Amino acid sequence: MCGIFGGVGRPEEEARVREAVRRLTHRGPDAEGVERHPHPLGEVWLGFRRLAIQDCSPRGNQPMADATGRWRIVFNGEIYNFRELRRELEGHGDPFRTGTDTEVLLAAWIRWGPAALERLVGMFAFAVLDTLTGEVALARDRLGIKPLYYHTTPRRLVFASEVKAMLAVSGVERRLDPLAAARFFTFLWVPGPDTLLEGVRQVEPGTWLQVGADGALRAHRYWEVPLPGTDGIAASPPPSPAEAADRLEALLQEAVRVRLVSDVPLGAFLSGGVDSSLVVALMRRASGERVTTHTVLFPRADAGWHIEEDDAPWARRVRDHFGDGVAYHEHTLEPGMADLLPRMVWHQDDPVADPAALAAWLICAAARPTTTVLLAGMGAEELFAGYPR
């Protein structure tokens, strides 16, 4: 992941802008960039922390400009169909200087404007500045995989990948939203677009925000969940179980295939459950290469305290099934988890009362020295009704 930060409106101290970007270092340890541009309301500043995944050379650093210098972009995420989009844009005569999806995304926005969002396959949160008109666009992917927060006052808009970055600049205050707090204690998380802080909101999934040169803010919904009878989708009879299974397998295979485009090492979480095991199997099928996997174990002395059984026996069955086809790694969660809580609170900004976040953080930290990107089965429970409740 990467981290983006920026603002439109009255000027801000350079030290505060640099501090805001510094607070996103954990999202992007490979490079940093900060730019400031004049604006009718004062100035625009754009900040970025990079985790290099495609074209790891300095050419891929951000903020990134187009060849004319008129347009600027900061972008967190991945556009999985960027190669197909690049070929189409090259057919229109658009030149490219890097091998990044960032440059393709910027070129797509310049050519097609907001209509480019409908063409994107991926996860993203980005900001595009038109230095000629002073307009800024903020956009978030269809399901809100990548975070994007913002805060407005009469003379300024501030946005960032994480709330903590926004708190570094003046005018963004730490005021608890009582209604959001009540919702947290009800649902154990804060439903968007609200956050626990009054005045700090999320760009909603499937939405882009248009920030005019006069500071006016307009929200545009570009995607909704397609349902039968809406958006031209016919309410046709359901497929047979066999037809549905074949279609689902094809969709899952394609989803995994496009995510294997990377210039850095890829791997997968492996719990031994249906979803993560299937992801590993589809990675093997798509690439034909050895898949690096990472599994969490609990200490033997702690086993009696856990409601669910350990993942290890099931993950090892997947390892044995694929043999040399996987490079299998186990990571034991040692005592001292409570010591990690302050750090988790800092990372999450808005808390999520799910202890799985602790395990996820630890396994990612253990995998980082050898694996930059991990595929996971996240979301399968929600899509396929896997939770008892």
| Mean pLDDT computed over 295-316 | 76
Contact present, 153 and 175 (Cβ < 8 Å): no
* 185 dihedral zone (left: phi>0; alpha: psi -120 to 50; beta): alpha
Confidence check: pLDDT of 301 > 80: no
Q: Which of 138-142, 168-172, 214-218, 358-362 has the lowest mean pLDDT?
A: 358-362
Percent of all residues in the chain with a pLDDT value above 90, rounded to a whole number: 69
Question: How do residues 255-274 score in pLDDT, each as one tens digit?
Answer: 999 999 888 888 999 999 99
pLDDT, tens only, 343-355: 888 888 888 887 7
Least reliable range by pLDDT among 205-214, 312-321, 369-378 = 369-378
* pLDDT of 231 strictly over 60: no
**How many angstroms separate the CA atoms of 267 and 274, rounded?**
17
Q: Is 56 a catalytic residue?
A: no
2, 4, 53, 283: which is the annotated catalytic residue?
Answer: 2
Residue 160 per-residue DSSP state: E
Q: What is the sign of the dihedral through the CA atoms of 221, 189, 163 and 33?
A: negative
**Confidence check: pLDDT of 280 > 90:** yes
pLDDT at 310 over 80: no
Band of pLDDT at residue 229, cut at 50, 70 and 90:
low
Q: How confident is the model at residue 139 (pLDDT cuts 50, 70, 90)?
A: very high
Closest CA to 106 of 71, 153, 55: 71
Quickly tell me which residue has 């040399």 as its tokens: 324
pTM of structure: 0.91
Please state which of the ranges 59-73, 78-92, 227-241, 350-364 shows the lowest mean pLDDT.
227-241
Q: In which residue are the tokens 């047979």 written?
A: 240
* Token pair listed for 258: 């496009």
The per-residue pLDDT for 306 is 62
Checking if the pLDDT of 149 tops 90, the result is: yes
Distances 335 to 297, 361, 362, 363 between C-alpha atoms, Å:
12, 15, 12, 15
Question: Measured between alpha carbons, how far is residue 306 from residues 260, 269, 297, 303 in Å?
Answer: 34, 20, 12, 6
Q: How many CB atoms lie within 10 A of CB 325?
A: 17
Residue type, 376: A
Q: Is the model's pLDDT at 16 over the cut of 80?
A: yes
CB of 169 within 8 A of CB of 7? yes
* Cβ(207)–Cβ(224) below 8 Å: no
Percent of the chain with pLDDT over 70: 95
Nearest Cα neighbor of 47 from 4, 106, 103, 102 is 4
The rounded distance, in Å, linking the Cα atoms of 156 and 154 is 6
Phi, psi torsion values for 335, nearest 5 degrees: -55, 160
